[in-house]
Amino acid sequence: LLEVDSIYIFADDEIIEYDGELAADTLLEFLYDVIEEPVEIISNDRELKGFHHIEEDIKLMGYFKSAKSSHFTEYDDAAEEFHPFIKFFATFEPKIANKLNLKMNEVDFYEPFMNKPVTIPGKPYTEDDIVSFIEEHDRPTLRKLEPHSMYEIWEDDINGQHIVAFAEESDPDGYEFLEILKEVAQENTEDPDLSIIWIDPDNFPLMVPYWEKTFGIDLSSPQIGVVDVEDADSVWMEMDEEEDMPTADELDTWIEGVMSGRINPDDETDYNHDDDEEEDDDDEDE
């Protein structure tokens, strides 16, 4: 126990560090997750439907002969290493496995917001095989900032920067922007250096005034920018509230600018997704 002001939870033989918001309800919800079994068993279509509805978290699904299978034991041991941060599921039902296109002793890895899973190669697996694969793929292309893991995610930056998107899922504009963001993430999921953090302001009402003041943005509408994690310098994509949301191509172009270093927090140049609009303004001035 090395970090001062940290919270550690002792569960069975595991020591779990809580790296989230210091709020009673958030901590209590996290504790409830801790006491759940590391692997949730899917036995019927209703439970399978619930599994498919989980899209904001990394999740794994395995198919095994039974709970007594040695291969399931390896899977369960791997689940304990990541519990409760990564969701592990398993089925012993051939009909469920068939609907998931899973073979016996096979495990699929689901990245958040992606349409298709990746099958972990080399079955049957040892615990170390599963752990190693997850550790190599535990930075999703698009991930949601959650109250129970907000500091852990924020510390997992790339070259001292984060691409951050603010969007209220319950708001029509926010929902539209989030769907565009998912499309861009799905098209770029093979890029290991791209990781976008989605923040729903509704989940952090007390942080909204701080973010608006620090970043100089209005969170009543969707925003996307690149943030320096050390000094909070940032640059944000210009989006006119009265205009349509940027297209997937426009958003992809902006992200490419960030990845190439052309758009960065140390550059005060604004970037507008609608270059034609600027040209029209110039023509009117003439």
pLDDT at 244: 81
pLDDT at 157: 81
Residue 9 has pLDDT above 60, yes or no: yes
CATH of region 142-273, choose from 3.40.30.10, 3.40.50.300, 3.30.70.1450, 3.40.50.2300: 3.40.30.10
| Separation between Cα atoms, residue 244 and residue 247, nearest integer Å | 8
3-class DSSP string for 132-176? HHHHHCCCCCEEECCHHHHHHHHHCCECCEEEEEECCCCCHHHHH
| Separation between Cα atoms, residue 228 and residue 214, nearest integer Å | 12
pLDDT at 277: 44
Contact 126/74 with Cβ under 8 angstroms? yes
CATH 3.40.30.10 in the chain is located at 9-136, 142-273
**Which residue type occupies 120?**
I
pLDDT digits (tens, 9 = 90+) for 111-140: 999 989 999 999 999 999 999 999 999 889
Higher pLDDT, 155 or 233: 233
Contact 78/131 with Cβ under 8 angstroms? yes
pLDDT digits (tens, 9 = 90+) for 102-112: 999 999 999 99
Topology classification of domain 9-136: Glutaredoxin (3.40.30)
Locate 231 and state its tokens: 């000094």
pLDDT at 278: 44
pLDDT digits (tens, 9 = 90+) for 146-203: 998 888 888 888 778 899 999 999 999 999 999 999 999 999 998 888 999 999 999 9
Helix axes 248-260, 172-187, angle to 10 degrees: 60
Specify the range with the lowest mean pLDDT, choosing from 2-11, 195-204, 244-253.
2-11
3-class DSSP string for 25-55? HHHHHHHHHHHCCCEEECCCHHHHHHHHHCC
Average pLDDT score over residue span 74-87: 96
Mean pLDDT, the chain, whole residue set: 89
| Separation between Cα atoms, residue 211 and residue 209, nearest integer Å | 6
